[in-house]
């Protein structure tokens, strides 16, 4: 079975803390993505990566950064968490040229 694994299902952090969300895929996919999902807003793209060490901004990159040092791993970093970053974060991966996205189960982050 293909798999996208996110490191934490639930996290609670305080305002100003640094937060790492990790995602690992076992399908040798070139593309990896980070989305956030909020009620009524759907899934919004934060960052994506086409290859190791490459990253591109999505719709809402402000307040986030990413790292892709290995093909299978894509990390989302919140340098200084704020309450408006409380959300469900979904990682996804795909082959490079138009194919289905495989999603992880999500990481629900609460920032107090």
Q: How many CA atoms lie within 13 A of 100 on its CB side?
A: 5
Cα–Cα distance, 104 to 84 (Å, whole number): 22
- Give the one residue of 26, 51, 59, 79 binding another protein; rule: CB under 8 A: 59
- Give the one residue of 81, 106, 107, 109 binding another protein; rule: CB under 8 A: 106
Q: Which stretch binds another protein (CB under 8 A): 16-24, 69-77, 79-87, 99-107?
A: 99-107
Task: Give the number of residues in contact with another protein, rule: CB under 8 A.
Answer: 28
Residues 6+ apart with CB under 8 A from 3: 25, 26, 27, 102
Binding site for another protein (CB under 8 A): 4, 31, 33, 35, 40-45, 48, 56, 58-59, 90, 94-106
């Amino acid at each position: 079975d293909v798999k996208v694994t996110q490191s934490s299902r639930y996290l609670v952090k305080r305002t100003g803390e640094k937060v790492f969300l990790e995602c690992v895929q076992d399908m040798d996919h070139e593309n990896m993505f980070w989305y956030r999902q909020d009620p009524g807003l759907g899934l919004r793209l934060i960052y994506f990566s086409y290859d190791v060490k490459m990253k591109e901004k999505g719709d809402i990159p402000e307040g986030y950064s990413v790292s892709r040092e290995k093909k299978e791993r894509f990390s989302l970093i919140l340098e200084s968490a704020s309450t408006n970053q409380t959300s469900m974060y979904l990682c996804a991966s795909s082959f490079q040229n138009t194919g289905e996205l495989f999603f992880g189960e999500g990481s629900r982050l609460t920032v107090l």
